[in-house]
Amino acid sequence: MEYRVFAADSSMKIYTLTVTIAPSGSKEITAFSFPALGAVGVIDQENHTIAVTIPYGSSKSSLVASFTATGQSVRIGSTVQTSGVTVNSFGSPKAYTVVAADETTQDYTVTVTNALNPAKCFWTFGFSSLGVAGTVNEAAHTISVNVPHGTDVTGLVATFSYAGNSVRIGAAQQFSGVTVNNFTNPVTYTSLSEGQ
């Protein structure tokens, strides 16, 4: 657009006006996930962190992240990241740098952890002092043990193996080959997974 400025003596100067919109300074990661693992990241915009929990036993190497960002590009170090394409190892936290259109940057620290082991089952159960092994029915969550006729069942020590973090009867933690229990009536064992 041109502006014409006239002086009192009728002379004139022409000024050309150019309006330029400054490039955007927006540089946020707004979504982050590992779709192949069904894992969605939790983004903390205040602290610029992203926490992703992947399923128990999943490898942290060779992961492909899908993400959306408001900047013009995203990179790790000097490597440009392409959502749904770029492969990275997440054995340690990664710094994702979002570059805005105005060339300013913002780092996001992405930390990937494995979920705790959800296993909580008995593999074996018996009374080694009696030389008897029980039958574990995992589907029904039952264990049956036949002991010799005349056995005093009021103070038996069970031997067992299990998947999980711990085994309890009520609030009392049980230790294979150590804890004494009364088996006059059915006893309910609780197998706890990690984190329980």
Q: Is the dihedral of CA 174, 175, 181, 184 positive or negative?
A: positive
Does 159 have pLDDT greater than 70? Answer: yes
The larger pLDDT score, comparing residue 194 to residue 61, is at 61
Q: Which residues make up the CATH 2.60.40.2340 domain(s) of the chain?
A: 29-114
- Rounded Cα–Cα distance for residues 48 and 28 (Å): 9
Residue 178 makes CB contacts below 8 A (sequence gap 6+) with 157
Residue 57's pLDDT band, with cuts at 50, 70 and 90, is confident
Instruction: Tell the residue number behind the tokens 């170090």, with chain if given.
Output: 77
Q: What pLDDT, on the 0 to 100 scale, is given for residue 22?
A: 74
Q: What pLDDT, on the 0 to 100 scale, is given for residue 196?
A: 53
The larger pLDDT score, comparing residue 7 to residue 178, is at 178
Q: What pLDDT, on the 0 to 100 scale, is given for residue 195?
A: 59
pLDDT tens digits, 14-34: 888 888 777 888 999 999 999
pLDDT tens digits, 104-142: 999 999 999 998 877 788 889 999 999 999 999 988 999
CATH topology of domain 29-114: Immunoglobulin-like (2.60.40)
Backbone angles phi, psi at 141, to 5 degrees: 60, 45
Q: What pLDDT, on the 0 to 100 scale, is given for residue 194?
A: 67
Token code pair at residue 71: 């900047």
Q: What pLDDT, on the 0 to 100 scale, is given for residue 75?
A: 97
Q: What pLDDT, on the 0 to 100 scale, is given for residue 7?
A: 85
Q: How many CB atoms lie within 10 A of CB 77?
A: 8
Residue type at position 11: S
Give yes or no for a contact between 33 and 42, defined as CB atoms under 8 angstroms apart.
no
Does 83 have pLDDT greater than 60? Answer: yes
Residue 107 makes CB contacts below 8 A (sequence gap 6+) with 48, 95, 96, 97, 98
Q: What pLDDT, on the 0 to 100 scale, is given for residue 23?
A: 81
How would you classify the pairing of strands 12-16 and 156-157?
unpaired
Residue 146's pLDDT band, with cuts at 50, 70 and 90, is very high
